[in-house]
Structure 1
């Protein structure tokens, strides 16, 4: 059977859930979440 994969070795592929992340990434995610919640809930509540 021919291998038509575009990757050199599919067994060595790394996907996001498998990659490590540190405190910096957690902080960025928390900041983005906080800004999103402010825009979604606080700003409309202030405009009422």
Structure 2
């Protein structure tokens, strides 16, 4: 049976959840989350007074 896939070896494919990440990426994610929560909840709460 012929393999007509576009990738040279599909078994060597790496997807994002499988890749390693370090403390820098965790810090960036935490900062983005905090800014999002600030915009979504804290700022509207402050304007209700």
SS in 1 for 2:36: helix
TM-score (norm 2): 0.88
Cα distance in 1 for partners of 2:46, 2:2 equals 62
Mapping 1:23-42, distance limit 5 Å: 23-42=23-42
Runs of 5+ unmatched residues, structure 2: none
Unpaired runs of at least 5, structure 1:
none
CA RMSD of the aligned region, Å? 0.9
Q: TM-score, normalised by structure 1?
A: 0.89
* Alpha-carbon shift at residue 5 of structure 1 (Å): 1.6
For the pair 1:14 / 2:11, whether they are aligned, the reply is: no
User: Following TM superposition, by how much is the alpha carbon of 1:8 offset from its aligned partner in structure 2, in angstroms?
Assistant: 1.1
